[in-house]
């Protein structure tokens, strides 16, 4: 008989290199009946089952483990669940009291050296790109003769929003590197990793920050679309209109002046037209052409 299984995805809110906290989170999920099956950069996949007390260990291996290594791990009670790049995740029932995978913290710190170097280059690169990006943004803003006006328009507003998103990307890369460095230092000082680290509050904080920035990133796509949807284009009536603007005809009061009509497109006189616009900073905008 084939058993049906239910899987759920959970957002990887925490830094992947906060190893102890992620292990503790997987155990917390298993206690609620969600057992880890696979893991990606953004989501972790859990399978619904019976609640169990399970220990998880994330081992960093710079080369893929061979069959003998995995057999030995199993002999010690640690079964491979899944892996992502150099992170191999093993599980063991909590009551099995199996020996620890790592018995020498100082030695374990050496397993983080390659990834430490890799993340360090990432941080250098992202900081360098961030500086270039900041420079570009500053130039765009400072060379603009009407910077405040440009902020009223969607295209101008996208610059600070993009900057905000870029800042978040840099922040998350640096935060992840700091987590790894902290772990490496703890281990190299001979202190074992805390596999039961509290995960609820940090996940909530990091998750809230992530969601906020994902929504902000979404804004850069949403704003131009919303602007196009809100845009209206129609011919300007010759005399009376209920537009909240003062027209030249009302100031000059020159009956001898005649209106020049221009090319028409979709019934709109292009030389005498009203275009309504929208942006978050100026929700009501009018662009009026009158000849």
Partner 1 sequence: MSYTNGPMTEAMFYVLLALANPNHGYQLMNAISQVSNGRIQMGPGTLYGVLARLQKDGLITIVEDDGRRKIYEMNDVGRAALREEYHRLLSMVQDGSSLRGEMDNENVK
Does 71 contact partner 1 by CB under 8 A? Answer: yes
Six-digit token string for 51? 């609640």
Of 99-107, 177-185, 209-217, 277-285, the segment contacting partner 1 by CB under 8 A is: 99-107
Six-digit token string for 207? 């998750």
* Choice from 83, 102, 181, 247 touching partner 1 (CB under 8 A): 102
Q: Tell me how far, at minimum, the Cβ of 90 lies from partner 1, in Å.
A: 9
Does 97 contact partner 1 by CB under 8 A? Answer: no
Of 17-25, 104-112, 254-262, 272-280, the segment contacting partner 1 by CB under 8 A is: 104-112
Rounded to 10 deg, the angle between the 19-31 and 200-230 helix axes is 90
Q: 66 vs 263, which CB is nearer to partner 1?
A: 66
Of 15-23, 95-103, 164-172, 241-249, the segment contacting partner 1 by CB under 8 A is: 95-103
Q: 25 to 64, contacts with partner 1 by CB under 8 A?
A: 57, 59, 61-63
Q: 76 vs 270, which CB is nearer to partner 1?
A: 76
Does 189 contact partner 1 by CB under 8 A? Answer: no
Does 92 contact partner 1 by CB under 8 A? Answer: no
Q: 239 to 268, contacts with partner 1 by CB under 8 A?
A: none
Separation CA 260–CA 290 (nearest Å): 8
Does 78 contact partner 1 by CB under 8 A? Answer: yes
Of 66-74, 121-129, 201-209, 225-233, the segment contacting partner 1 by CB under 8 A is: 66-74
Count the neighbouring beta carbons within 10 Å of the beta carbon of residue 146: 9
DSSP state of 263: -
| 136 alpha-carbon distance from chain centroid | 22
Cα dist from 7 to 10, 34, 47, 240, 276, whole Å? 10, 8, 4, 64, 48
Q: 58 vs 173, which CB is nearer to partner 1?
A: 58
Q: 12 vs 112, which CB is nearer to partner 1?
A: 112
CA atoms in the 13 A half-sphere facing the CB of 241: 18
Q: Per-residue DSSP letters for 99-164? A: PPS-S-HHHHHHTTHHHHHHHHHHHHHHHHHHHHHHHHHHHHHHS-S-HHHHHHSHHHHHHHHHHH
Which of 184, 172, 166 has its CA nearest to residue 20?
184
Does 100 contact partner 1 by CB under 8 A? Answer: yes
Sites of contact with partner 1 (CB under 8 A): 57, 59, 61-63, 65-69, 71-73, 75-76, 78, 99-104, 106-108, 110-111
């Amino acid at each position: 008989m084939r058993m049906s299984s239910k899987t759920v995805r959970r957002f990887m809110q925490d830094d992947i290199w906060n190893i102890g906290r992620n292990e503790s989170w997987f155990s917390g999920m298993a206690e609620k009946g969600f057992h880890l099956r696979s893991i990606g950069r953004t989501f972790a996949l859990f399978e619904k089952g019976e609640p169990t007390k399970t220990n998880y260990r994330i081992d960093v291996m710079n080369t893929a483990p061979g069959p003998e290594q995995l057999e030995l791990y199993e002999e010690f009670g640690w079964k491979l669940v899944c892996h992502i790049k150099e992170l191999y995740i093993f599980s063991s029932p909590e009551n099995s009291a199996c020996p620890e995978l790592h018995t020498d913290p100082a030695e374990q710190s050496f397993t983080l050296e390659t990834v430490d170097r890799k993340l360090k280059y990432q941080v250098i690169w992202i900081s360098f790109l961030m500086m270039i990006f900041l420079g570009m943004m500053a130039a765009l803003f400072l060379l603009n003769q009407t910077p405040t006006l440009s902020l009223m328009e969607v295209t101008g507003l996208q610059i600070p929003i993009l900057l905000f998103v870029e800042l978040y990307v840099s922040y998350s890369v640096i935060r992840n590197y700091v987590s790894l460095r902290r772990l490496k230092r703890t281990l190299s000082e001979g202190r074992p990793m805390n596999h039961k680290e509290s995960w609820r509050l940090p996940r909530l904080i990091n998750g809230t920050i992530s969601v906020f920035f994902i929504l902000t990133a979404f804004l850069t796509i949403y704003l131009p679309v919303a602007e196009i949807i809100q845009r209206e284009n129609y011919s300007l009536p010759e005399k009376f209109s209920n537009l909240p603007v003062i027209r030249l005809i009302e100031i000059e009061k020159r009956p001898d002046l005649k209106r020049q009509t221009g090319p028409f497109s979709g019934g709109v006189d292009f030389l005498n037209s009203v275009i309504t616009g929208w942006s978050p900073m100026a929700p009501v905008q009018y662009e009026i052409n009158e000849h």
